[in-house]
Amino acid sequence: MAIVYGLKCVANISVLRKLLAFAVVSLAPVVLAESAGVTLPASESVQIESLSTDFELLEDRTGALDVEAVSRAPANSGFVAGSPEKANVGFSKSAWWVRLTIHNPGAAARDLYLRQGYPLIDLLDVYQPAGGGWARLSTGDRRPFGSRPVAHRDYLFPLTVAAASQTTVYVRYSSQGPVDINLSLLDPDKLVETLSREQLAYGVYFGCVLMLLVWSGLVFVAVRDNAFLAYFGYVSVFGVYMTVNTGFAYQYFWPDSPAWANACLPVLLCLSLITALEFSTTILRARDYTPRLNLVARVLQGLAVVAIALTPFIEYAVLIKPVTFLIFVAVVFMIGLGVICLLAGSRPARFYVVAWGAFLAGSVVFLLKNFGVVSHTFMSQHAWQVGALLEMILLSMTLSSRMNELKHQSRTDPLTLLGNRRLFDQRLPIEFAQALTTHRPLTLLVLDIDNFKTFNDRFGHTLGDEAIKMVGGALRRYARKPVLACRYGGDEFCVILPGTNAEAAAAIAERLRASVETGSNPEHGITVSVGYASLAPVGEQFTSAEKLFDAADAALYSAKQAGRNRVAVFNGRRKEDPVPSTGVETPQATRSAQ
């Protein structure tokens, strides 16, 4: 009996399972039909920013299906429920169909706009029921801009849903680029509000780009530095690319040229890469700091030129992927270049590294969105634009650092890296006036290389330059703030010693003379003669900075007349005065052993 009872229970369970399975299969289309779509509010405004969970999605791998085929019963054949992840398809050779059912329970018809927010879709077709058939609206950036029902950078499709009814809309996507399904539903009032806010935001964005462009152009005209020209080119090209990416370029620049509207994308990206690398190598002085990486930058620029040349011959879908990869590699390279130059001492590299880091972060998010890895959100869609704007602003700060560097270079002697004649002429009068005002001592050294013309004639100008650099190196070792050492011209140097009296200046001058003598190659025998003059805090004997310089120069002349390779103090005798016949040096003069 127990066995028979058990068999009956098993049979009953089997029957229940079959009934449950039948119920699920039978009711599944009903559940899908009721859960899919969007229901309009009876009396409120309509503003649904994302329909990704309200529509259904179908992949057409061959691209051969038409609206009759995809709308034919059974209702759930091939369509799957949408989601933010599925809506961002990325690069795909398939055509994609969206089915959206709109329910209007109200007593009045509703006028709506279906908006596709990503403008770079090649072919976009919208089908609405009309008179037992389908009304078709065909547009996309492979078709003339005039094909759009509303003249806007995005795609806006007017819909009307009758009172107490529902309508089902089909949208077909096909594109060589990323397929980003970003549908929203708005009534006319909400659409106007949304577009107004967006226009303001884009106005601010492109206004900032324009200001950076004007600023860099004006500065280049003023300073004639190639870094500003390269930055101007980069902002120009990338700014135009941003107008393409946002749809403004197709709307305003070339609405009747769909072929160019698509071909210009890789062209502008490659031009942006070329100008960005040119700016990077110039602002960071890569040729000086990292010659090998400078060569790598040229190789990357060459690859970008090749990509531009291939644009007329290779389909966009084939070309855009390697171009995107090339840009990603180039951005990583530029960050690495900035870090290396920063460690090597490049001052503009500080803002440069942060700038390209911000751009890389935005680029990665945007590329992940394009390849369908992350869903379409406001941040993922505009991450590149935000990162690019931050990058351009930070790069402008890099250029400000460059301006300071140029200012420093304009006052620096390139051979010795000491101050130049311009800096000396600026600083000596200032230090002289401060010394008079504060009643502090001030000493000026003037020195040059002994028999330098003979040295040049014997060993050549190359070794002559090396001799000048060697003396400059010795001066740099002793020129700590507030001391200022400058190359006055040729083989002549000046050292301003604020707060230094004659006794201390004599010791410094002697150390400089000895340092040059012992540091030079014995075969060359480089020596210097030094003359100095001091402005005492009490009883000043000089009425101007020029008089102080003339006195130090006269002391140098005295050192030369006394046999060279020595230090001499100004003794009241000018260069034009006759040299005493006794040959006795002043008590303050010192002389090294020959």
pLDDT in tens, 168-192: 999 999 999 889 899 999 999 999 9
Q: Using CA atoms, how far apart are residues 337 and 278, in angstroms rounded to an integer? A: 12
Q: Which two tokens stand for residue 295?
A: 């060569």
Q: What is the pLDDT of residue 14?
A: 44
Q: Using CA atoms, how far apart are residues 252 and 236, in angstroms rounded to an integer? A: 17
Question: Which of 429-443, 486-500, 520-534 has the least mean pLDDT?
Answer: 520-534
Residues 6+ apart with CB under 8 A from 234: 272, 275, 276, 278, 279
Q: State phi, psi for 511 to the nearest 5 degrees.
A: -65, -40
Let me know: does 166 contact 101? Beta carbons within 8 Å.
yes
Task: Detail the DSSP E strand segments found in 54-194.
Answer: 56-60, 80-81, 88-91, 95-104, 110-116, 123-130, 133-139, 155-161, 165-174, 178-180, 183-186
Let me know: does 548 contact 444? Beta carbons within 8 Å.
yes
Query: Beta-carbon neighbour count of residue 14 at 10 Å?
Result: 10
pTM: 0.67
Average pLDDT value over all residues in the chain = 83
Residues 6+ apart with CB under 8 A from 413: 419, 420, 472, 486, 487
| pLDDT band at residue 388 using 50, 70 and 90 as cut-offs | confident
Q: Per the residue annotation, which of 60, 225, 491, 553 is the catalytic one? A: 491
Q: Give the CA distances from residue 54 to residues 36, 58, 164, 171, in Å, rounded to whole numbers and listed in that order.
A: 6, 14, 19, 14
Given a cut of 90, is residue 129 above it in pLDDT?
yes
Q: What is the pLDDT of residue 6?
A: 43
Q: What is the pLDDT of residues 538-589, one digit of tens each?
A: 444 788 999 999 999 999 999 999 999 999 999 776 555 544 433 334 333 4
Q: Using CA atoms, how far apart are residues 498 and 443, in angstroms rounded to an integer? A: 7
Select from 355, 386, 73 the least CA-distant residue to 231. 355
Q: State the Rg of the chain over Cα.
A: 39
Q: Which two tokens stand for residue 531?
A: 């003359």
Please state the rounded mean pLDDT for residues 273-291: 89
Q: What is the pLDDT of residue 142?
A: 94
| pLDDT band at residue 309 using 50, 70 and 90 as cut-offs | very high
| pLDDT band at residue 376 using 50, 70 and 90 as cut-offs | low
Whether residue 491 lies in the annotated active site: yes
Q: What is the pLDDT of residue 580?
A: 44
